[in-house]
């Protein structure tokens, strides 16, 4: 216990306390509201990734345009929510949502990968409650407001810009995911067809010039460990707020030891709260299969083919 406390204190000391408080505070506020109203549709796992990325890792390509932190995830959430209302099977819903979201991101020249997760979430949870849309607008709005307050751009500096993905990268990424969804549909394992944090990571790395085997191994390891921690904490505690506290501490420590800065890991730990219940081991195994397949394909495309996606 003493070692655990010392490690936690060491990690916390690496961040300015105000940013640490805002990042954790937004996540815990969201889960507290969900607990108060006993409604899991309020929980947005990707808010955890965005909060950590903005306030703890200070990703300037995210914080440079605070309004986009509200607008783009909200738009994709509405896209996914209303496509989920269509009388079509899940595989078609996922593919259609991916196509529309990719077209949106490309048209507005944005590479805000977490927005893909907010669009896929209502599909994988089969959400039909408008509470989900209210939660998106509320918490993404709060995220944008805090980002605008804490990250005011200097007058003498141009805001940081993230280069949009190339047409080829977008098309190849879509093709990979469509093939994966078709395989999952044929095999009857749709529960692993579109785990949002994995798709976010794959999209972030599809056009990287370097993506080594060690990085692939560490990413899959982090995803599996955080999936297990998230499922385990919720399985035993059955309390959104308490499970979130455990998840935030555990994921931060895991990333510290593996020397990784990976916001989607926080979303992965939150995901079991909103998905149909499964055992921690089963969810971790599902995550391992999906992460290895999708991220492994990205690794092969970058390192073992002549295709230039960057």
**b/e sequence 18-46, b meaning 16+ C-beta within 10 Å:** ebbebbbebbbebbebbbeeeebbbbbbb
What's the token pair of residue 251? 């994921």
pLDDT digits (tens, 9 = 90+) for 122-160: 999 999 999 999 999 999 999 999 999 988 754 434 455
How many helices (H) and strands (E) the chain has is answered by 14, 0
* Annotated domain spans of the chain: 14-303
CA-to-CA dists, residue 140 to 69, 72, 82, angstroms: 7, 9, 19
pTM for the model? 0.91
Q: Which residue has the higher pLDDT, 162 or 38?
A: 38
pLDDT digits (tens, 9 = 90+) for 189-234: 999 999 999 999 999 999 888 889 999 999 999 999 999 999 999 9
Q: What is d(CA 302, CA 296) in angstroms, rounded to the nearest whole number?
A: 10
Q: What is d(CA 92, CA 174) in angstroms, rounded to the nearest whole number?
A: 13
**b/e sequence 245-280, b meaning 16+ C-beta within 10 Å:** bbbbbbbbbbbeeeeeebbbbbbbbbbbbbbeeeeb
CB of 76 within 8 A of CB of 116?
A: yes
């Amino acid at each position: 216990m003493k070692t655990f406390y010392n490690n936690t204190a060491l990690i916390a000391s690496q961040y300015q306390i105000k940013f640490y408080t805002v990042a954790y505070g937004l996540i815990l506020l969201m889960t507290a509201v969900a607990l108060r109203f006993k409604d899991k549709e309020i929980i947005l796992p990707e808010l955890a990734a965005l909060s950590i990325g903005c306030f703890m890792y200070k990703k300037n390509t995210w914080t440079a345009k605070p309004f986009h932190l509200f607008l783009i995830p909200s738009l994709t959430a509405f896209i996914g929510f209303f496509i989920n209302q269509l009388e079509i099977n899940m595989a078609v819903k996922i593919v259609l949502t991916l196509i529309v979201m990719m077209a949106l991101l490309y048209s507005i020249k944005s590479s805000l990968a977490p927005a893909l997760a907010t669009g896929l979430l209502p599909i994988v949870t089969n959400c039909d409650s408008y509470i989900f849309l209210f939660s998106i607008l509320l918490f993404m709005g709060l995220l944008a407001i805090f980002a605008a307050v804490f990250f005011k751009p200097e007058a003498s500096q141009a805001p940081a810009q993230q280069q949009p993905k190339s047409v080829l990268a977008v098309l190849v990424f879509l093709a990979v995911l469509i093939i994966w969804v078709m395989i999952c549909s044929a095999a009857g394992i749709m529960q692993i067809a579109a785990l949002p944090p994995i798709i976010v990571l794959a999209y972030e790395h599809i056009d990287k010039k370097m993506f080594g085997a060690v990085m692939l191994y560490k990413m899959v390891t982090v995803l599996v460990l955080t999936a297990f921690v998230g499922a385990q904490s919720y399985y035993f505690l059955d309390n959104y707020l308490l499970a979130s506290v455990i998840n935030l501490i555990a994921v931060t420590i895991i990333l510290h030891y593996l020397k990784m800065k990976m916001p989607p890991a926080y979303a992965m730990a939150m995901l079991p709260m909103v998905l149909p219940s499964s055992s921690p081991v089963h969810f971790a195994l599902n995550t391992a299969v999906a992460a290895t397949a999708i991220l492994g394909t990205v690794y092969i495309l970058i390192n073992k083919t002549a295709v230039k996606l960057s």
